[in-house]
Amino acid sequence: MGSSLRIVNGRVFDPANGVNGAVQDVCIQDGRIVADVPPDARKIDARGQVVMPGGVDIHCHIAGPKVNLARKVQPEDHRLDVHPRTRFTRSGTGGTVPSTFATGYRYAAMGYTSAMEAAVPPLGARHTLEELHDTPVLDKGFFVLVGNNVLLYRLLQEGRHEEFRQALAWWISVTKAYAPKLVNPGADEMWKGHRNANITALDQKIDSFDLTPRKVIAAFIEAGNELGLPHPVHIHCNNLGHSGNYETTLETMRLAEGRRAHITHIQFHSYGSVAGKSRDNPTSRAHDIAEFVNTHPNISADVGAVMFGHSTSMTADAPLAYMLRQFSHGKWVNADTEHESGCGILPFTYQDRNYTNALQWAIGLELFLLSKDPWRMVFSTDHPNGGSFMSYPRLIRLLMDREFRKEQMAKVNQKALEHCSLRDCQQREYSLYEIAIITRAAPARLLGLTQKGHLGAGADADVTIYDEDDDKERMFSTPRYVIKDGELIIDDHEFRADHEGRILHVAPDYDPEIERVIQPFFDDFYTIRFANYPVDDRYVRGGQIIPTTGQAAPAGR
């Protein structure tokens, strides 16, 4: 910081400010975008290049206990992909779940400058923040798992809605989280209580509680919006991966009743089933899902596209991991986090000749191509679940290049393509402007990060400059320049500096009296003393609190 920079002659794509490929200067001073800089400022000549805000990943799994378990369970993945140190950067290992340093550098090397870890049990908050500190370049935060929290369930069950809201605010605040995350609400109780049990419907009774997923989800949507959180609630719906689950997804979205809610990796929740056939035989219902999102401006989603090849299934949805394990027959991990959450991890390979995998791949593309509002159907592969973040450039090419898409469609299981509408929407090609929306502007807006995802005066100086190239995969794989907080991290394709990035979190107000409700529960059931539970400020040193408001901002344009 402290230096000034002027980027000249580049085609600028800044959708939040309506700039669509205009050749104009971008000026940077002291880590911020400014209107002008002194004439002696360093100039970057971006002729023949594309200037965009730094990428923002709204949903990925990059830090915390489960990510570490995934690293531990796959030593072979790391042995084969060594990330050597350079003069400016530290060493690490890659694979589908890279080590912390490699994660930050590899995101940066694709032009990404912000990312949100999408599922952390409150008890894992400290560990996660420590790993995020070791994840360089990126600004980052995490979503805290609250959708299977036993105490919150008790408060809901007893109709203590105000205390529920206060307790939710307490949990988000003391863990230094960014947003509340629901994962397969109610399923942990079923999974823990019965052999191979899961939630299958929104009105199913949750084991041990007089509650249903419908009540739980509605309560969190209401509370998240009332607290004015910048990203009110991030929902992994019930029935992920099951044939016919699109009905559950539609029902879940209806529960928002006009309030903001974000449905994550919606591709995994857009499956139909063949009438009269086994429920194991999925079909695409992307059309129904996209139609609902298109017509409900309070709802946003990230796609969670599937890319062929190695991935790591890593989820707080423990029953799902067990189901996948029945297909993979390989090593897996299943874990329980006291009264807060569960988790399952296993290596998984998506194969283009496999009917279900090909269908999943196609549904991801369908959702993008059927979306009418790119501000509310944004980019993700649910890294590393649907595929590594390293596959983002390939996914961008699939969206921008219909000839390439046709070539790839010819290679996959053709029966799968008969059960989706990808062939009907293959004329559409995303423009650079739309790519800038779904990878930058929209995720930043949906997260309530007003200083990110755009290049207007006052924004964080997170800028990526790509060489224009007809091969969009190559173009988005290798930015020529990456600027983070005004510092030139990648200069002419090479790392020239390191950068720590900062933790982004929220601190919603809560009534301190709520601790009188929470503490006895800790004394009775937790393995950790109440006083030791809240994460202190040292864990977010240099971080940034994103303000909450009384009323959450609208999702769409």
Partner 1 sequence: MSLELTLHTAPTVPLEADILSPARLGGLSALAAAKLTVVYGNQPAELGEFFKVAGAANGELHLTGDLSRLKQIGAGMGEGRIVVHGPAGMHLGAGMTGGEIVVEGDAGDWVGPEMSGGRIVIKGNAGHMIGSAYRGSAVGIRGGEILVFGSAGNEVGAGMRRGLIAVGGDCGDFAGVNMLAGSIIVLGRLGWRTGAGMKRGTIVSMHPAELLPTFSYACNYCPPFIRLYLPYLSRLGLPVPDAQIAGPYQRWCGDAIELNRGEVLFLDTGEAALRG
- DSSP, collapsed to helix, strand or coil, labels residue 366 as helix
Question: Which is nearest to 235 in space by CA: 300, 170, 161?
Answer: 300
CB closer to partner 1 out of 74 and 421:
74
Joined together, the tokens standing for residue 253 give 């979205």
Q: Cα–chain-centroid distance for residue 229?
A: 17
Distance CA 265, CA 214 (A): 19
SS3 content of the chain, % helix, strand, coil (to 5): 35, 20, 40
Binding site for partner 1 (CB under 8 A): 73-77, 79, 330-331
Q: At 26, which helix (H) or strand (E)?
A: strand 26-29
**Closest separation in Å from C-beta 511 to partner 1:** 49
CB closer to partner 1 out of 81 and 515:
81
**Closest separation in Å from C-beta 82 to partner 1:** 13
**Closest separation in Å from C-beta 331 to partner 1:** 8
Distance CA 138, CA 118 (A): 15
CB closer to partner 1 out of 75 and 554:
75
**Closest separation in Å from C-beta 313 to partner 1:** 16
CB closer to partner 1 out of 73 and 442:
73
**Closest separation in Å from C-beta 329 to partner 1:** 10
Distance CA 220, CA 255 (A): 10
For residue 17, give Cα distances in angstroms to 20, 440, 441, 457, 554: 9, 12, 9, 10, 17
**Closest separation in Å from C-beta 101 to partner 1:** 18
**Closest separation in Å from C-beta 76 to partner 1:** 4
CB closer to partner 1 out of 84 and 276:
84
Question: Which is nearest to 529 in space by CA: 541, 513, 518, 514?
Answer: 518
Residue 140 backbone class (left: φ over 0; alpha: ψ -120 to 50; beta: rest) = beta
* Residues near 160 by beta carbon (within 8 Å), at least 6 away in sequence: none
Distance CA 491, CA 416 (A): 43
**Residues 359 and 283: beta-carbon distance below 8 Å:** yes
**Closest separation in Å from C-beta 326 to partner 1:** 16
Q: What is the bridge-based pairing of β-strands 261-263 and 299-302?
A: parallel
List beta partners, residue 504.
Answer: 544
CB closer to partner 1 out of 102 and 132:
102
Q: Cα–chain-centroid distance for residue 515?
A: 31
CB closer to partner 1 out of 72 and 415:
72
Q: How many residues does the chain have?
A: 557
CB closer to partner 1 out of 41 and 333:
333
**Closest separation in Å from C-beta 73 to partner 1:** 8
CB closer to partner 1 out of 76 and 523:
76
